[in-house]
Amino acid sequence: MKFRPCIDIHQGKVKQIVGETLNDEGKPVVENYVSEYDSSYYASMFQQDGLVGGHVIMLGDGNQEAAIKALQAYPKGLQIGGGINADNALFYLENGASHVIVTSYIFQDGELKQDRLEQLVSVIGKDKLVIDLSCKKKDGKWFVVTDRWTKFSNIEITPATISQLEEYCDEFLVHAADVEGKRSGMEASLVEKLAGWVSIPTTYAGGVRSLEDLESFRKLSKGKLDVTIGSALDIFGGDLSYQKVVKYCTE
């Protein structure tokens, strides 16, 4: 089990927000934390601590400059997501990203756009692609959500879906969107299911808020999943020691 750190960028600043409050209507976004440090500060910290495969997420427009600053501070150590498509993916890889992360680009109108997925793979190769299966629960099942987690797709996360998509990517990133950013505990049933279904590196995000949660996560996932933690960490205004998390996952 690896700890995969995150750098979320909103309006050019490193922030921790409640993801499902992002919108295009000008409504206020719920911010858990706004950092006084820039993105390269965190990238350098993660590099010093030997943390590989964390992700930089651009939350909306106007974040490219800050994102590139992080990627160049830690070349090939971070992945990037947020507005990635077949036209700009190479740009981010050439500027230091190890992988690009996509959701809404390949999941549109409720369906998987197979042509877009295949085009992206043809441009960058499957070994540079992370598919984000951000999801919410509906009628007892997990469905991929898109457009800043505001729209349910028709794509249920099942063993068959996982198996199909593994043919096209190097890793999965899975945000449990109902609990992400709320420090309310993880989605245990999703963690258990993912651990039983995936055969490629997969990072779970959402609700982990303590070392006890980390221990529960490790047991539930049988060590098969990696974990990311955001708002709960003391480096992002929370109570959970970043250094203790690094130590726990390293040992």
Cα-to-chain-centroid distance, residue 146: 13
What integer pLDDT is reported at residue 147 of this predicted model? 81
Q: Given this model, what pLDDT does residue 15 score? A: 86
**pLDDT for the residue 19:** 54
Closest CA to 202 of 167, 168, 227, 165: 227
For 81-92, write each residue's pLDDT tens digit: 999 999 999 999
Q: What is the largest CA-CA distance in the chain?
A: 45
The identity of residue 144, as a single letter, is V
User: Selecting from 3.20.20.70, 3.30.56.10, 3.50.30.40, 3.40.800.10, what CATH number does the domain 6-250 have?
Assistant: 3.20.20.70
Tokens of 156: 């249920």
CA distances from 70 to 13, 14, 42, 74, 143 (A): 12, 10, 8, 6, 31
pLDDT tens, residue by residue, 103-133: 989 999 999 999 999 999 999 999 999 999 9
What are the E-state strand segments in the chain? 6-10, 13-17, 31-34, 54-58, 78-81, 99-102, 107-108, 111-112, 129-132, 135-138, 141-146, 151-156, 171-175, 202-205, 226-228
DSSP 40-68: HHHHHHHHHTT--SEEEEE-SSS-HHHHH
Q: Are 135 and 155 in contact (CB under 8 A)?
A: no
User: Is the CB of residue 120 less than 8 Å from the CB of residue 89?
Assistant: yes
pLDDT of residue 212: 96
Residue ranges covered by each domain of the chain:
6-250
Residues of the chain with pLDDT under 50: none
Q: What is the C-alpha to C-alpha distance for residues 13 and 182, in angstroms, rounded to an integer?
A: 20
The secondary structure of residue 128, as a DSSP letter, is G
CA distance 17 to 21: 8
pTM attached to this predicted model = 0.93
User: Six-digit token pair at 180?
Assistant: 């992400």
What pLDDT is stored for residue 21 in this prediction? 57
Residue 181: its pLDDT value, please?
56
3-state secondary structure of 158: coil
